[in-house]
Amino acid sequence: MAKEEFPGWHGTTIIGVRKGGKVVIAGDGQVSLGQTVIKGTARKVRRLSPGGMDVIAGFAGSTADAFTLLERLEKKLEATPGQLARASVELAKDWRTDKYLQKLEAMLIVSDGKELFVITGAGDVLEPEHDVTAIGSGGNFALAAGRALMDTDLDAEEIARKAMAIAADICVYTNGKLTVETINA
């Protein structure tokens, strides 16, 4: 089956929330192929520890592509210890200019507790203005909900969980089986 004929993989919503000295990245567990749920318990949020540095990352898109990017990010972090921004920019530059990496179809949300970034294959390293960011099929729903909840007394994890629940209620490619990782500033 040619790539154009292959029904697209859907089913990822990842949110990153920074509030009260903590960053939480949460992701749902659904993977769909066309209109069929293939798996409901995928783990799309990971903790990385390159060179003793603690980083959390969530990914949307192709799993194999995301793992390739996470491995590259770990190498960049090992080369630039304690400098998530620099490692993220170096990864984005490679992703944008390397002919092999250009074919990768994924996006990442990463944080070391101090900084929170979205990294894309277009060469972007984006820091959210309102301390909330989201990617994937239900990303816009989770982002809107998360931004609305930021002015409440809820902490970062509660905001992430509620925003993901709202996204799961709206987006057919998102479920409520979450993986949640927290990191302190």
Task: Write out the catalytic residue numbers.
Answer: 12
Secondary structure of residue 5 in the 3-state scheme:
coil
First to last CA, the chain: 47
C-alpha 81: how far from chain center: 21
C-alpha 5: how far from chain center: 27
Angle at 48 between CA 44 and CA 50, to 5 degrees: 155
The token duo for 108 is 């990442």
Q: What are phi and psi of 175, to 5 degrees?
A: -120, 180
Of how many residues is the chain composed? 185
